[in-house]
Structure 1
Amino acid sequence: MKHSKRVFAMNSLAVGVRVALGSLALVLSTAALAQQAPSSDDEEATLETISVLGTRGTGRTATDSAVPIDIINAEELHNQGSPDVLDALKVLVPSFNVSTIPIDDAASLIRPANLRGLPPDNTLILVNGKRRHRSAVITFLGHGLSDGSQGVDISVFPSLALDQVEVLRDGAAAQYGSDAIAGVINFGLKRLSEGGQVEIFGGEHYEGDGFTTQVDGQIGFPLGPDGFATLTAEWRESDPTSRSVQRDDAAAAAAAGYPNVPNPAQIWGSPEVKDDQKFVGNFGWKGENIELYGFGNVSRRDTDGGFYYRNPTARAGVYSNDGGQTLLVGSLSGNTTCPTIALRDAAGNLIPYATVSGQVAALPSDCFTFLKVFTGGFTPRFGGEMKDLGFTGGIKGRWGDWHWDFSGTYGNNEIEFFMYNTVNASLGPNQPAGFLFRPGSNEQTEHMFNFDITRAFDRVNLALGTEFRSEEFRIGAGDAASTAIGPLTQQGFSIGSNGFPGFNPQTAGEWSRDSWAVYADLESQVTDQFLIAGAVRYEDYEDFGSTSNWKLTGRYDFTDTFAIRGALSTGFRAPTPGQANVSQITTAFIDGELRDTATLPPTNAIAAFYGAEPLTPEESENFSFGLVWNNGPWNLTADYYHIKVDDRIARSTDFTITEADRAALIAAGVVQAASISRVGFFVNDFDTTTRGIDLVASVDTDHFGGETNYAAAFNWNDTEVNKFTPGIISEARIKKLEESLPSTKGYFTVHHHREAWDLLVRLNYFGSWYEDHLDSDVVRIEDGGLPIYEDSAVTVDIETGWKWDSGLFVRVGAQNVFDKTPDNNPWGAAVAGAQYPVHSPYGFGGGFYYARLGWKF
Structure 2
Amino acid sequence: MRLRSPTLSPLSVLVAAGLAAGSAPAFAAGADAPANTVVSSSNVAASTLDAVVVTGSRTSNRTVKNSSTPIDVISAEDLASTGQANLLEALQRSLPSLSQIGGYQSDQESLIRGYQLRNLSPGYTLVLVNGKRRNASAYVSGANGGGYPGHAWADLALIPVSAIDRIEVLRDGASAVYGSDAITGVINVILKSQAQGGDVSVESGQSIDGDGSRTSVRANIGLPWGQDGFINLSGESTRQHHAIRTRRYIDGYLSYPAVDADGNLVALRPNNQLPAGATPNPAEAGRDAEANTILSSPSYALRSFALNAAHGIGEDAQFYATATASDRTAQAIQNFRLPATIFGTYNAPSVLNVWPDGFLPVLETKEQQYTGTAGIKGQWGGWDYDASLTGNRNTVRTYTRDSANFSLDYPGAPTDFYDGKLDYQQGIANLDLRRGFDVAAFASPLEVSAGAEYQHERYERGAGQWESYTGFGAAAFVGYSTADAVEATRNSKAVYAGAATNVTSRWYLDAAARWEDHSDFGSVSTGRLTTRFDFTDTFGIRATVSNGFHAPSLGAQFYQATGSCPCGTTLVAQVSSPAALALGATPLQPEKANNYSLGVTWDPSPALHVALDAYQIDIRGQLGQSSQIGYNAQDPERITDNSGTVLSAAQKNTIDALLGTAGISILSGDAFYASYFTNVGDTRTRGLELTVEANQETGWGKLRWSYAANVGRTTIREVRDIPEVLQGLPNINLLTRSSEYALRFRTPAYTQVAGLGWQNGRWRSNVDFTYYGPIKRLNNGVEYKQPPVLVTNLSGSVELGSGWSAALGINNAFDKRTRKVPEHARSASDVASIETTWDTGDVLSTIGTFWYGRVNYRF
* TM-score interval for Structure 1 and Structure 2 normalised by the shorter chain: 0.7 to 0.9
Q: Quote the Cα distance in structure 2 between the aligned partners of 1:550 and 1:165.
A: 25
Task: Return the alpha-carbon distance in structure 2 between the equivalents of residues 665 and 626 of structure 1.
Answer: 53
Q: How far apart, CA to CA, are the structure 2 residues paired with 1:644 and 1:803?
A: 50
| Structure 2 partner of 1:266 | 292
Cα 1:455/1:642, change in 2 over 3 Å: same
Give TM-score, length-normalised by structure 1: 0.83
| C-alpha separation in 1, matches of 2:657 and 2:743 | 39
Q: 2 CA distance for matches of 1:476 and 1:405?
A: 37
Query: Amino acid of the residue matched to residue 685 of structure 2?
Result: T
**Map of 2:613 onto structure 1:** 639
Aligned residue type for 2:437? F
| Pair 1:383–1:830, CA change in 2 (3 A) | farther
Deviations 1:199-255 (A, max 9, x none): 100011111111001111111111111211111111111110123241238853378
Q: Tell me by how many angstroms 1:659 deviates.
A: 6.3
Partner residue, 2:433: 453
Alignment correspondent of 1:584: 561
Partner of 2:321: 294
For the 8 Å contact 2:692–2:707, the answer to whether it is kept is yes
Preserved CA contact (<8 Å) 1:790 1:822? no
* Aligned mate of 1:531, from 503, 508, 511: 508
Instruction: Give the structure-2-normalised TM-score.
Output: 0.83
Which residue does the alignment assign to 2:679?
684
Of 281, 285, 308, the match for 2:307 = 281
**TM-aligned CA deviation for residue 405 of structure 1:** 0.7
1:419 maps to a residue whose letter is T
Residues 673 and 466 from structure 1, CA distance in 2 versus in 1: closer, same or farther, beyond 3 angstroms? farther
The superposition leaves residues 402-434 of structure 1 with CA deviations (integer Å, 9 ceiling, x where unpaired) of: 01111111111111111122211111214534x
Aligned with residue 75 of structure 1, among 67, 74, 77: 77
Q: Which residue of 2 aligns with 1:374?
A: 355
User: Offset of 1:822 from its aligned partner?
Assistant: 4.2
Give the counterpart letter for 2:35 in structure 1. Answer: T
In the TM superposition, 1:274-673 aligns within 5 A as 274-287=300-313, 288-313=315-340, 315=341, 318-321=342-345, 329=347, 368-433=349-414, 435-458=415-438, 459-485=445-471, 495-587=472-564, 596-630=569-603, 631-656=605-630, 670-671=662-663
Structure 2: distance between partners of 1:745 and 1:44: 31
Measured after TM superposition, the shift of residue 268 of structure 1 is 4.0
Q: Give CA deviations for 1:696-715 in whole Å, capped at 9, x if unaligned.
A: 00111113521111111011
Contact 2:253 2:832 in 1 (8 A): no
- Alpha-carbon separation, structure 2, partners of 1:832 and 1:616: 43
The answer to whether residue 741 in structure 2 is matched with residue 735 in structure 1 is yes
- Say which is worse superposed, 496-505 or 650-659, in terms of deviation: 650-659
Q: CA deviation at 1:132?
A: 0.4
Q: Does the C-alpha gap of structure 1 residues 831 and 686 become closer, same or farther in structure 2, counting only changes over 3 Å?
A: farther
Q: Which amino acid aligns with 2:738?
A: A
1: CA distance, partners of 2:659 / 2:352: 43
Unpaired runs of at least 5, structure 1: 1-42, 322-327, 331-367, 486-494, 781-786
Which residue of 715, 720, 723 corresponds with 2:718?
A: 723
Amino acid at match of 1:634: L
The letter for the 1-side match of 2:446 is V
Instruction: Note closer, same or farther for the CA distance 1:704–1:144 as it changes in structure 2 (3 Å cut).
Output: farther
Partner Cα distance (2:387, 2:519) in 1: 23
Q: CA deviation at 1:661?
A: 6.3
1:104 and 1:601 map into 2 onto residues whose CA distance is 19
Q: Deviation per CA, 1:153-206, whole angstroms, max 9, x where unpaired?
A: 111112111000000000111111001111000000000211111110001111
Match of 1:127 in 2: 129
Relative distance call for 1:606 and 1:307 in structure 2 (3 A) is same
Match in the other structure for 2:236? 234
Q: Find the aligned partners of 2:292 and 2:699 in 1 and give their Cα distance.
A: 50
Structure 2 unaligned blocks of 5 or more: 1-31, 37-47, 257-279, 439-444, 632-651, 721-731
For residue 803 of structure 2, the aligned residue among 804, 807, 812 is 807
Q: Deviations over 1:740-776 (max 9, x none)?
A: 2101101111101111111111111100113345xxx
Q: Which moved more, 1:195-204 or 1:719-728?
A: 719-728
Amino acid at match of 2:76: A
> How many angstroms does 1:372 deviate by?
2.2
In structure 1, the partner of 2:757 is 751
Q: Contact 1:113–1:120 (CA<8 Å) still a contact in 2?
A: yes
Structure 1 residue 400: deviation in Å? 2.5
Q: CA RMSD in A?
A: 2.4
Aligned to 2:638: none
Where does 1:178-189 land on structure 2 (aligned, <5 Å)? Answer: 178-189=180-191
Q: Distance in 2 between matches of 1:833 and 1:460?
A: 67
In the TM superposition, residue 399 of structure 1 has moved relative to its aligned partner by 0.5
**How far does residue 140 in structure 1 lie from its aligned partner after superposition?**
2.2
1:525-562 Cα distance to aligned partner (Å, 9 max, x none): 11110001111110101111101011000000111110
- 1:91 partner SS: helix
**Greater Cα offset, 144-153 or 77-86:** 144-153
Match of 2:42 in 1: none
- Relative distance call for 1:106 and 1:329 in structure 2 (3 A) is closer
2:600 is matched by which residue type in structure 1?
L
Distance 1:108 1:155, change over 3 A: same
User: Is this contact kept in 1: 2:170–2:187, CA < 8 A?
Assistant: yes
Note the C-alpha offset of 1:263: 4.1
- 8 A Cα contact 1:249 1:830, kept in partner: no
Q: What CA distance in whole angstroms lies between the structure 2 residues aligned with 1:820 and 1:704?
A: 36
Distance 1:557 1:664, change over 3 A: closer
Q: Distance in 1 between matches of 2:290 and 2:252?
A: 8
* Partner of residue 114 from structure 2, selected from 101, 112, 115: 112
Structure 1 position 297, deviation (Å): 1.1
* Residues 1:170 and 2:172 are matched in the alignment: yes
What does the per-residue CA deviation read over 1:580-625, in whole Å, with 9 as the maximum and x for residues that have no partner? 11111224578xxxx7532112211221122111100001010000
For 2:388, the aligned partner's letter is: S
Which moved further from structure 2: 261-270 or 207-216? 261-270
Instruction: Give how far 1:456 is off.
Output: 1.0
Distance 2:63 2:775 in 1: 34
CA deviation after TM superposition for structure 1 residue 311, in Å = 2.5
Indicate the residue corresponding to 2:770 in structure 1. 764
**Which letter maps to 1:394?**
G
Counterpart contact for 1:243–1:836, Cα < 8 Å: no
Cα distance in 2 for residues equivalent to 1:659 and 1:431: 43
**2:101, 2:746 within 8 Å by CA — same for their partners in 1?**
no
Amino acid at match of 1:750: L
Please tell me the residue identity of whatever aligns with 2:215.
T
Alignment check: 8 A CA contact 1:144 1:733 kept: no
Q: What is the rounded CA distance, in whole Å, between the counterparts of 1:104 and 1:831 in structure 2?
A: 22
Match of 2:697 among 680, 698, 702: 702
Distance 1:688 1:400, change over 3 A: same
Secondary structure of the corresponding residue to residue 148 of structure 2: coil
Give the superposition deviation at 1:788. 4.5
Query: How many positions carry a matched residue from both structures?
Result: 743
**Pair 833,753 (structure 1): closer, same or farther in 2 beyond 3 Å:** same
Name the SS for the 2:390 alignment partner: strand
1:455-508: CA deviation from partner (whole Å, max 9, x where unpaired): 0112210000111111121111011211233xxxxxxxxx21112111111111
Aligned residue for 1:140, secondary structure, equals strand
Distance 1:144 1:261, change over 3 A: same
